[in-house]
Structure 1
Amino acid sequence: MRSFKRSLRLFMLRWHRRIGFILSLFVILIAITGIVINHANRFGLDTRPITSPWILSWYGVEFVGEIKGYATAESWISAFQGKLYWDSESVGFCAEPLKGAEMVAGIWFVLCDTSLTLLTSDGELIEIVDDVVPDNTRALSGVHDDWLVIVTETGMQTLHSDTLELKPDTVTNTTARIATPLPASLQADLNFKSHSITIERLLLDLHSGRILQMPGALFNDLVALAMILLALSGSWLWLQRKR
């Protein structure tokens, strides 16, 4: 009998320590994240995006492959996840695919599907003209005087940069700008901008247990259950010691 009680006491003591150690980690985590969350606005954590691919993959965020765009004198024009970007700044919406970008008289004409976006040489939005080109438009194919050359499935057409008059044409001596991969740093910026997971969001998920992909209520229940077991085992060990 004594041997059984001793074995039981050792068993309870061993698990009491284990539960206490594990629970202390959660208590420290909850305390630290709670303190930081209280000051998230002061430190700008509510607007600072997560940049760790490993953490983002936990949220199901997957980076796309190569992002291509059109180089300007000092910047890049690209389309990513429905937005048109001048470098890493969104300047409007863009129904992909991005079909070309050409400059006429100091103005950039960017073709997104069948809409034409006009930008200044510094990337400021002038206007967006919808359905200005045929649905079967494949790409912009250069500039001829004040006319944008457009490639469609039925042939070449030209669009006047001022009046937006569209007419058939057979211009063949133009050179189109070619989309090339964006710099690696810019591609990374666009990938990070494509999600809304901030450091504050990560802290909240750590604090509530959602980071473990379980409901917050279930996480709190498990912590409460561990505290109950810790209290019961501690009380039992104390009573055995008194005897």
Structure 2
Amino acid sequence: MSKSRTRRWFQRWHRRVGIFSALILLLLTFTGFLLNHSNDFGLDHKKLTRSQAAVFYLEQSTPTLGSYLPQGWIYQLDKQILLNSQALQTCESNFVGAVWIEQTLYIACEETLHVLDKELRLIESLNARLAYPAPVYALTDCGKLCLKSAQQNWLYDFHSGSFKKTALAPSWHTLKKLPEELTAAAPSAFSWERLILDIHAGRFLGAMGVWILDFFVLLFFVLSISGIYLWWKKENRNKKRRNDIKQG
């Protein structure tokens, strides 16, 4: 292969690979810009929905049951208790249910009871150390708050803050199936900042994605060297041509 043909092949290779690599570089530049201004755009607080997260990450557990109240659905997502998409409190144990009684919202989990006012502000949280009869498996409105533990029913008096055994056997509140549109829109554990960071680092493709990104980093290096080489060769040709013109 002649030098001119080799040079033309090398130039075509450099241009084609350069165009493809430029697309990756544009992606890295754009994601880098977003990460640099993550706080300004609120990306660290905005969560992907479960359906959005499922596109990029392994499928997560999706809430299926909740308590329906006039204000909407209360349900548990991971350790978070939500009203529709609004975070209320956290529960380390399973969500049991929620009821309104006299403008007070009671959110019961097996090991914790959260008491909120009508503005959804926390009044108190109770656990076994504060006489909560954990584990609790059901609750209901029986004039006051009734709770069901393994072998006993309990009556909670909000004003005295005490739990008393009761012989009442009320109809217990049961969780209902959440609407599909709510489960699809439920926030995931992943923020937009996390997604953009994983795209920027190639991690959204798994371990292989990191290697692919490393390949392009090496390719950028090779393109830089080849670009310098092509410029140097062109400068030498131009310099030689100018010398030939002067001598001619």
TM-score of the superposed pair, with normalisation by structure 2: 0.72
Name the structure 1 match of 2:132. 133
Once residues 208 and 136 of structure 1 are traced to their aligned partners in structure 2, the CA distance between those partners, rounded to angstroms, is 44
Unaligned runs of 5+ in 2: 242-248
Q: 2:9 aligns with which of 8, 11, 16?
A: 11
User: Structure 1 residues 57 and 109, CA, compared in 2 at 3 Å: closer, same or farther?
Assistant: same
What is the one-letter code of the residue matched to 1:195? F
What is the one-letter code of the residue matched to 2:20? I
User: Structure 1 residues 112 and 16, CA, compared in 2 at 3 Å: closer, same or farther?
Assistant: same
TM-superposed deviation, 1:117: 0.7
Moved more, 77-86 or 208-217: 208-217
Once residues 228 and 102 of structure 1 are traced to their aligned partners in structure 2, the CA distance between those partners, rounded to angstroms, is 69
What is the one-letter code of the residue matched to 2:146? V
Structure (1/2) with the larger helix percentage:
2
User: Structure 1 residues 99 and 85, CA, compared in 2 at 3 Å: closer, same or farther?
Assistant: same
User: Structure 1 residues 54 and 152, CA, compared in 2 at 3 Å: closer, same or farther?
Assistant: closer
User: Structure 1 residues 210 and 223, CA, compared in 2 at 3 Å: closer, same or farther?
Assistant: farther
Once residues 204 and 135 of structure 2 are traced to their aligned partners in structure 1, the CA distance between those partners, rounded to angstroms, is 46
What is the one-letter code of the residue matched to 1:91? L
Q: Does 1:24 align with 2:22?
A: yes
8 Å CA contact 2:154–2:166 kept in 1: the answer is: yes
Name the structure 2 match of 1:109. 106
Unaligned runs of 5+ in 1: none
Q: Counterparts in 2 of 1:1-243, with a 5 A limit?
A: 3-5=1-3, 8-33=6-31, 42-45=40-43, 47-50=45-48, 53=51, 57-58=55-56, 60=57, 62-131=59-128, 132-140=131-139, 142-146=140-144, 148-154=145-151, 156-162=152-158, 163-172=160-169, 174-192=170-188, 194-198=189-193, 202-203=195-196, 213-214=209-210, 220-233=217-230, 235-236=232-233
CA RMSD of aligned residues (A): 3.6
8 Å CA contact 2:103–2:118 kept in 1: the answer is: yes
